[in-house]
Each structure stands twice: as C-alpha cells, then as structure tokens.
Amino acid sequence: MIHPNLWQDLEIRHLGVLLAIAENSSLWAAADVLDLSPSAVSQQLTTLERIVGQRLVERGRGRRQTRLTEAGELLVRHARAVIARVRAARADFAAFESGAVGSLRLGTFQSVGARIIPAVLREFATAWPGVEVELTEQEADDQLLTAVEHGQVDLSFAAYPLPEGPFEATELVQDPYVLVVPAGSPIGADRSARLDDLRDVPLIGNRSPHVRARVEEALRERGVEPRVVMRTDDNGTLQGLVAAEIGVAVTPLLTLDEQDPRIRILHLDDLPTRTIVMAWHRDRYRSPAARGFVGAAQRVSARLLPVRHVPSD
C-alpha cells in the first residue's frame, strides 16, 4: 500500500542504493561500489521499501545475486533520471565556479578527433589559455550523449539526428559519404560512382552502427546485397585494406586521409551526407568557455567542408 506522506522522506541516497543494486545484481556488490557495509545497503533498501510501500528487490542469501521486482524495475527507471539530473547539477556548479579557468570536458569520436579536434584546440587555446580541455573518446556517439546527459562531459560531437533526450545541438559540417577504391581500380574512372556499381564487389565494412546501417541499408534499398569481406572500427585500417585491394569501402569523407596516393576517393550521388553537430545538455549551464569552444568548432568546420544550414544555438 502506498503511503503518500512517507514519500517526503525519500532521499537521493535511497535511489542511489537501488540503482547500484540494479546495476550490480547483488547487495554485496552494490556495497562495494558505494563504499558501504552490506548491512547499511540493506537498511537503506528496507527504508526505501517502507517509503514506497512495495518490495523492490528479491533478496538472496549471502552473496547470491538479487533481482528487482516489477515495482523495483519501475522505480529504477525514475531513479536513473533523478540521479542523472543530480550529476548534471553537480557538473553545472563545477563549471559555474571555474569561470574562465578549470577544465572543459569534451566528447569525441575517431573521425572528428583526427580532422577537426587539433585545429579547434589550437584556436580555442589562444582565446582561453586558462581552460584545460579533457577528451573523452568513444567509438559510438550514443555513449557520448549518455555522458552528456549524466553530466560527465560538457559538450560532445555527435551525428544528427540525435536520440531522444535533454539535448540541444548546433550543426558543424555536412560530411559526405564517398566510395574509396584502390588507385588502380576501374570503378569510377570519371571520379564519381553510384551504389549500383557495388554489386558483387568486395566491401570493407564499418562496425559503427550508424555508418553500417546508413550504408548497407542504402545498398539493399537499391537491390544490392552488400558483399562484406571484412569489418573494422579503425579508419586507418579501413583505408589500408582498400589500398591493399582487399575491397572497396563506403565511408564518410572525414574518416579518410585524402592525400594517400594508394587510393582514389569517388563522389557518390545517391547517398545522403552525414551531419556532424556539437551537442550539450539543454537544461545545464553552459559556461562562456563552452560557448567559446562551440564557436571555434563552427569556424574550423566551416573551413573543412561547407555547411548547408546551421541552426541557431
């Protein structure tokens, strides 16, 4: 039975205990993560169950794994959102107190790191010499956006469209998909190609879920079943495999070293471009340094590739 008056006794630490139990499937493991004794975790869980009027966890004996009840699963969904907002608030105050000094935490992925980040950092360091930029690198931008939501990074590069969440973004660059072939390949002698040209052609695939889905779904829509002979997450490896004539690749232009004489890069007329944006938490305080970094990223990106449309931020 729910006792509305008891909910005023609910504390953030109670939700933190439930979330730790859910993520570690054990009261003992949750105690280790929270640096508490198992009895303290059990007591806080009991208090939480009393407050909400429901059993939240099916307890096992000793160190056995535990599992959430249906009510526990329901509350965990809310707990994750609450804890994420608390972490974001803590990050906000750290950014507010630091002002023009301190650090700016930036999320990035491989192709952006190679082509955009160095020039942006050079320009930003000139304008904000007292701010240290901390890089968080991931293979997939959905992991970076989770870090934005939890207040673990202040800004992050990402590919549009963004998933549902508390995000705002400004467009930086339109990154076209291109076909990469060995220098001596007969494909695309006129410097352009179409996806239909890849029928029965060995393909070097990308493991990135976004790139993989965009490219391979586009091929199938045209009746071309991708003949993937190898996959890699590393841009340099992909380019080397193409140069070694293992296969060809469809990949965003920013992932490539355009000066490599071993390959040819062909324009594709029938595949939409990849839109790269800078994203942040819409409800969080953006420091002057963070806004300055976004401006530097926009200027550097505009010099690399033309932007079709830049939404206001």
Question: Residue 192: its pLDDT value, please?
Answer: 72
169/281 same-domain check = yes
Q: What phi, psi does 176 have (nearest 5°)?
A: -75, 145
Whether residue 313 lies inside any domain: the answer is no
Per-residue pLDDT tens for 114-148?
Answer: 788 999 999 999 988 888 899 999 877 888 999 99
Of 42, 60, 87, the residue that ends a domain is: 87
Whether residue 287 lies inside any domain: the answer is yes
Contact by Cβ (8 Å): 57, 68: yes
Question: Residue 122: its pLDDT value, please?
Answer: 94
Q: What would the mean pLDDT of 268-290 be, rounded to a whole number?
A: 88
Whether residue 203 lies inside any domain: the answer is yes
Show the tokens assigned to 122. Answer: 């050079």
> Is pLDDT at 102 greater than 80 in this prediction?
no
Question: Residue 307: its pLDDT value, please?
Answer: 46
Number of domains making up the chain: 3
Question: Residue 203: its pLDDT value, please?
Answer: 95
> Is pLDDT at 254 greater than 60 in this prediction?
yes
Per-residue pLDDT tens for 133-191?
Answer: 999 998 778 889 999 998 899 999 999 989 988 999 999 999 999 999 999 888 877 66
Question: Residue 91: its pLDDT value, please?
Answer: 73
Question: Residue 245: its pLDDT value, please?
Answer: 94
Give the whole-number percent of the chain exceeding pLDDT 90. 43
Q: What is the mean pLDDT of the chain?
A: 86
Whether residue 312 lies inside any domain: the answer is no
24/161 same-domain check = no
Q: What would the mean pLDDT of 94-116 be, rounded to a whole number?
A: 76
25/169 same-domain check = no
User: Cis (ω within 30 of 0) for the bond into 161?
Assistant: yes
Using the Cα atoms of residue 311, residue 116, residue 295 and residue 283 in order, give the sign of their dihedral: positive
10/79 same-domain check = yes
Name the band, by pLDDT with cuts 50, 70 and 90, for residue 61.
Answer: low
Show the tokens assigned to 120. Answer: 């942006």
Name the band, by pLDDT with cuts 50, 70 and 90, for residue 60.
Answer: low
Dihedral (Cα; 56, 61, 67, 71), 10-degree rounding = -10
Show the tokens assigned to 47. Answer: 């208090």
> Is pLDDT at 286 greater than 60 in this prediction?
yes
111/226 same-domain check = no
- Burial of 55 (C-beta count, 10 Å sphere; 0-12/13-18/19+): middle
Angle at alpha carbon of residue 304, lines to 301 and 309, rounded to 5°:
55
129-141 exposure pattern, b = at least 16 Cβ within 10 A, e = fewer: eebebeeeebebb
CA-to-CA dists, residue 201 to 151, 187, 211, 229, 255, angstroms: 45, 10, 18, 10, 21
Question: Residue 100: its pLDDT value, please?
Answer: 52
153/181 same-domain check = no
Question: Residue 266: its pLDDT value, please?
Answer: 92
Range of the domain at 207: 177-272
Place of tokens 């009746």: 223
298/163 same-domain check = yes
Q: Would the pTM count as exceeding 0.75?
A: no
Question: Residue 247: its pLDDT value, please?
Answer: 95
